[in-house]
Amino acid sequence: MFESLLIFIFGLILGSFLNCLLWRMYKGESFVSGRSYCPSCRHDLSFWDLFPLFSFLFLKGKCRYCKSKISYQYPLVELAVAVLFLFVYIQVGITMEMFFLWTIMFLFVAIFVYDLKYYIIPDSFILIGIVTSFLWIIFSSWDISYLLSAIGASLFFFLIWFFSKGLAMGFGDVKLAFFLGLLLGYPNIITGVFLGFLFGAVIGTIMIFLQKKKLKSEVPFAPFLIAGSFIALFWGYDIMELYLSLIK
């Protein structure tokens, strides 16, 4: 119980750091120097303003200085990282795999939020994901099928990007597919991609129905692909076995 609490708090802290990282990357600012500040009034934030989750609740979602509303992104990202870290710990315990999966969960949240907000996937996140996944494959058990899955997934998305002239998806999704293929391997990458398209179709239809988007509106695809890949990472084989049992 105590370990779980510590991991949850650690996840909140890293989630707070991720919020700062995403904002400063977007603004082209260094995230290793300079004090945190309010995006609205740019007032430097004090130590008491930076407690993950609790500061947001204590301040009732408003800046202490200018009273501007604080985006719900901040507590949600903090909670997401904390919950995912705790989930991984429960699944695999304190092992090398836990630290690997923590890195992946951090990247998943980073890519999900950045593409959702800014419609772009930073190459740095994808590169870290590729290197981390490749090193894990070497460390755990070398299997060439993971590399083939990465190439196959990336090629599939490249063809969509090429023939749609970039209208169906961005080239960032092509690079993301390579990372996810290397992470998931075969057949989990198939499950992840299928679920990503399924989620995208369902959410897109709902948004069109609610008149939030039009048919030609740009919709970031990475969040759906990340969601599908997360499910495939932990339950991909079970989903595939269930599907195969249904079509027999």
Residue 32, φ and ψ in degrees, nearest 5? -105, -5
Q: Do residues 108 and 230 touch, judged by C-beta distance below 8 A?
A: yes
Q: Alpha-carbon distance 106 to 98, whole Å?
A: 12
Residue 104 banded pLDDT, cuts 50, 70, 90 = very high
Which has the closest alpha carbon to 193: 245, 236, 135?
A: 236
Q: Alpha-carbon distance 102 to 222, whole Å?
A: 19
Q: Flag the least confident range among 103-112, 143-152, 183-192, 203-212.
A: 203-212
For residue 137, the model assigns a pLDDT of 93
Q: Which residues contact 83 (CB under 8 A, 6 or more apart)?
A: 8, 11
For residue 13, the model assigns a pLDDT of 94
* pTM score: 0.91
Name the DSSP letter for residue 121. -
Q: For the chain, give the mean pLDDT.
A: 89
CA 195, 235, 108, 146 torsion-angle sign: negative
**At 37, is the secondary structure helix, strand, or coil?**
strand
For residue 208, the model assigns a pLDDT of 74
From the centroid of its chain, how far is CA 193?
A: 15
